[in-house]
Amino acid sequence: MTAAYDSTNQKVVIVYMDNSNSNYGTAIVGTVSGTSISFGSEVVYNNTGTTGYNSVIYDSTNGKVVIAYSDGGNSSYGTAIVGTVSGNSISFGSEVVFNSGSSSYIVAVYDSTNGKVVIAYSDGGNSSYGTAIVGTVSGNSISFGSEVVFNSGNTTYIGLTFDSNSGKTVIAYKDDGNSGYGTAVVYSSPTLSTNLTAENYIGIAAEAISNGATGKVNILGGVNSGQTGLTTAKTYYVQPTGTLATSAGTPSVVAGTSISNTKILIR
């Protein structure tokens, strides 16, 4: 069982393996009021078999929940799924495999500096070595980079946290390849760079534009209608990844104000 806080919707998301329902992966949304909490209905996110080593995080850049787990119905492959909270419920996109091997001791964290999801696990398909991988959320899905081995030995009881001051992830684990010693390592996600400033922000692309090609841009004072999932009358900020969010990125650049769930007034 594991939990995360959705700061956009001010909800608690709890995920777990439901023993009373074939050990399926299940999520439920909770609302805190005073010293109590109430819940919506349970939602199954993996119904193919035993769902183990669940870990859930909240991606504040994209406003999404990400769950990483071992899919017992698919050879215990390391798998992730993106969830969207709405009211007292949550809906999910499609499952995405991040490790085609038996995966255990899975844990995830959100790298707010780079807007990435970092997942660490013991890779049973590679001598149970400690392994990490970085995921990028887009819409209701997530894509992954290449796996990186952080410990060439049997690795168990993994813990993960993100140090926002240094912009680094710290992985703690039991190194069974070294007398079971408690060990920690610092991991750096692929670094993002940007030349974005409040002065050189001119607007939002009005259409899909390939790299090196020309296209239309809605400039300051205009309205961009190519958005989805906006909350009306909210101020949105440009993120280092080029996405929009209701919280300021680094640097802090206001993109505009939403006038519907698909349109933003650029300012």
pLDDT tens, residue by residue, 54-92:
999 999 999 999 999 999 999 999 999 999 999 999 999
- Residues 124, 236 share a domain: no
Sort strands 254-258 and 235-238 into parallel, antiparallel or unpaired.
antiparallel
- Residues 203, 93 share a domain: no
CATH of the domain at 53: 2.130.10.10
- Residues 151, 31 share a domain: yes
Q: Which of these, 11, 65, 10, 82, lies nearest to 40 by C-alpha position?
A: 11
- Residues 142, 225 share a domain: no
For Cα atoms 117, 247, 266, give the angle at the middle one, nearest 5 degrees. 120
- Residues 169, 146 share a domain: yes
pLDDT for res 249: 76
Within its chain, how far is the Cα of 10 from the centroid? 17
- Residues 211, 140 share a domain: no
Residue 14's contacts (CB-CB under 8 Å, 6 or more residues apart) are 1, 2, 3, 27, 28, 30, 56
pLDDT tens, residue by residue, 169-188:
999 999 999 999 999 999 98
Domain span including residue 241 = 193-267
Q: What percent of the chain is predicted at pLDDT more than 70?
A: 98
Residue 81 CB-half CA count within 13 A: 22
Classified as helix, coil or strand, 45 is: strand
pLDDT tens, residue by residue, 120-137:
999 999 999 999 999 999
- Residues 214, 167 share a domain: no
pLDDT tens, residue by residue, 36-51:
999 999 999 999 999 9
Q: How confident is the model at residue 267 (pLDDT cuts 50, 70, 90)?
A: confident
- Residues 26, 154 share a domain: yes
pLDDT for res 251: 81
CA distance 227 to 57: 24
- Residues 139, 15 share a domain: yes
Asked if residue 240 has a cis previous peptide bond (ω within 30° of 0), the answer is no
- Residues 83, 57 share a domain: yes
Of 169, 187, 205, the position where a domain reaches its end is 187
Full-model pTM: 0.74
pLDDT for res 191: 60
According to the 3-state scheme, what is the secondary structure of 150-192? EEEEEEEEEEEEEECCCCEEEEEEEEHHHCCEEEEEEECCCCC
Of 161, 187, 213, the position where a domain reaches its end is 187
- Residues 81, 22 share a domain: yes
- What's the domain count of the chain? 2
Of 140, 161, 187, the position where a domain reaches its end is 187
